[in-house]
Amino acid sequence: MNKKIVQAVQERSKGLCEICGSPYMTQIHHIVKGKGKRREHENKYSVILLCWDCHMGNKGVHGRDGRELDLYLKKKLQEKYFNLGYTENEVREKMGGKLY
Ligand SMILES: [Zn+2]
Ligand SMILES: [Zn+2]
């Protein structure tokens, strides 16, 4: 993973989960993976720091009941891209080929 992005995420989050603020076993999460094009989809907005519970727990993004949090993060990211001035097509591309 790009070191500059990791650094930016660590600085922004101060090492705390960006959902709940917990410092417990924090890990980097890619909000959009962009099948096979991970590099192009990787930026400081599409990558966040999550604690183990918000990442891998039942209600974590990858958890059994994590659909809601996953969608929430994707919608927030999409909104961020629109706020940054990207066109609808650009945002769709950045979101991995669809809008949420
Ligand atoms: Zn958390
Ligand atoms: Zn993840």
- pTM score, whole prediction: 0.91
Q: 3-class SS at 75?
A: helix
Residue whose token pair is 């706020």? 83
- From the CA of 22, the nearest ligand is 1
Does residue 33 have a pLDDT over 90?
A: no
Burial class (CB in 10 A: 0-12, 13-18, 19+), 36: exposed
For the segment 9-21, the average pLDDT, to the nearest whole number, is 97
* pLDDT value of residue 41: 82
| H or E stretch at 19 | none
C-alpha 25/C-alpha 74 separation (Å) is 22
* Phi, then psi, of 47 in degrees rounded to 5: -125, 130
Measured in Å, residue 14 CA sits from the centre of ligand 1 at: 13
* pLDDT value of residue 60: 97
Measured in Å, residue 26 CA sits from the centre of ligand 2 at: 11
Does residue 35 have a pLDDT over 80?
A: no
For the segment 41-63, the average pLDDT, to the nearest whole number, is 96
Measured in Å, residue 55 CA sits from the centre of ligand 2 at: 6
